[in-house]
Amino acid sequence: MMMTKRAKYLLMSVSSCPLLSASVAGAQTASPPAVVTAPGASEAPAANAPAATTSAQSADQGGVQDIIVTAQKRQETANRVGMSITAASGDDLKLRGITSAIDLVKIVPGFNFTQSNYGAPVYSLRGVGYYDTSLGAPPAVSVYVDEVLLPFSIMSIGATLDLERVEVLKGPQGTLFGANSTGGAVNYIAAKPTSTFKAGFDATYGNFNRLNVGGFVSGPISDTLKARISFSNEHSGDWQYSYTHDAKRGKSDVFMGRVLLDWTPSDRLKVRINVNGYTDRSDNQAAQLVAVLPSAPAVVKAQPLPPGNNRAADWDDLDPYRRKADFLQASVRVDYDINDAMQLTSITAYDTFDRDSVTSADGTRVQNFAAATPGSSRDFGQELRLSGDIDRVRYVLGGSYSYDNVKDSANALADVSSLPFKKSIGTANQKVNTAAIFGNLDYRFTDTLTLQGGVRYTDLHRKFNGCLYDSGAGDLAATQSAAASRLLGRPVVFPAGSCVTLGPDFLPILDREKLNEDNVSWRAAINWQVTPRALLYANVSHGYKSGAFPVANATNYLQFAAAIQEDVIAYEAGFKLTAFNRTLQLNGAGFYYDYRNKQLRGRRIDEIFGSLNVLVNVPKSSITGGEIQATLRPAKGLTISAGATYVDSKIRGDFLNYDALSQFGNFSGEALPLTPKWQATGDGQYEFALSSEMRAFVGGSINHQGATHAGLGTNPLFAIPSYTLLDARVGIETPDDRWRLVAFVRNITDKYYWTNTFQSGPNVVIKYTGQPRTFGATLSYRY
Residue 140, phi then psi, degrees to nearest 5? -85, -20
**Alpha carbon distance 552, 425 (integer Å):** 9
Other C-beta atoms closer than 10 Å to the C-beta of 162 total 25
Best CATH choice for the domain 5-782 from the list 1.10.645.10, 2.40.170.20, 1.10.150.120, 3.30.470.10? 2.40.170.20
Closest CA to 172 of 424, 461, 508, 525: 525
3-state secondary structure of 590: strand
Long-range (24+ apart) CB contacts under 8 A made by 28-36 are: 28/2, 28/3, 28/52, 28/56, 30/2, 30/736, 34/8, 34/89, 34/165, 35/70, 35/164, 35/165, 36/12, 36/67, 36/87, 36/165, 36/167
Task: Note the pLDDT of residue 607.
Answer: 64
CB 700 within 8 A of CB 724: no
Q: How many residues does the chain have?
A: 783
pLDDT tens for 162-220 read: 999 888 889 998 887 678 889 999 989 999 999 999 999 999 999 999 999 999 999 99
**Alpha carbon distance 568, 581 (integer Å):** 40
3-state secondary structure of 491: coil
For the chain, helix, strand, coil in percent to 5 are: 10, 55, 35
| pTM across the whole model | 0.89
**Alpha carbon distance 133, 412 (integer Å):** 14
**Alpha carbon distance 537, 78 (integer Å):** 12
H or E element, residue 130: none
3-state secondary structure of 80: helix
**Alpha carbon distance 304, 459 (integer Å):** 52
Residue 414, phi then psi, degrees to nearest 5? -140, 80
List the chain residues with pLDDT less than 70: 1-81, 117, 119, 177, 607-611
Task: Note the pLDDT of residue 610.
Answer: 65
